[in-house]
Amino acid sequence: MQHHRHLDAPLFPQMSLDHRLIDLLVCPLCKGPLDMLRDPEGRPVALACSHDRLAFPIRDGIPVMLEDEARPLEPTA
């Protein structure tokens, strides 16, 4: 028998909502789709609009979709 990891206790209960959330969320400026940015541990940290090159922060699991709070996307190598 293989040893299976326990999957019944999610580390981040909000994570299961992420995909639904990101489907509903669009950029408040251009109404375009957003990309989720994650930290090295896989936690969502921001939603990025590649059109406007802005990243909207996610605080306590809640996306802050305000232009004033957005940060310019850093160019990726």
Choosing from 48, 49, 58, 70, the residue that interacts with Zn ion (CB under 5 A) is 49
Choosing from 12, 35, 51, 67, the residue that interacts with Zn ion (CB under 5 A) is 51
* Tokens 């990309």, located at residue: 35
Minimum CB separation of residue 11 from Zn ion in Å reads 31
Choosing from 12, 15, 23, 30, the residue that interacts with Zn ion (CB under 5 A) is 30
Residue 27 phi, psi dihedral angles, 5° rounding: -60, 130
DSSP letters spanning 39-71 = -TTS-EEEEEETTTTEEEEEETTEE---GGG-E
Q: Closer CB to Zn ion, residue 15 or residue 30?
A: 30
Longest dimension (CA), the chain: 54
**27 counts as binding Zn ion under rule CB under 5 A:** yes
Q: Which residues bind Zn ion (CB under 5 A)?
A: 27, 29-30, 32, 49, 51-52
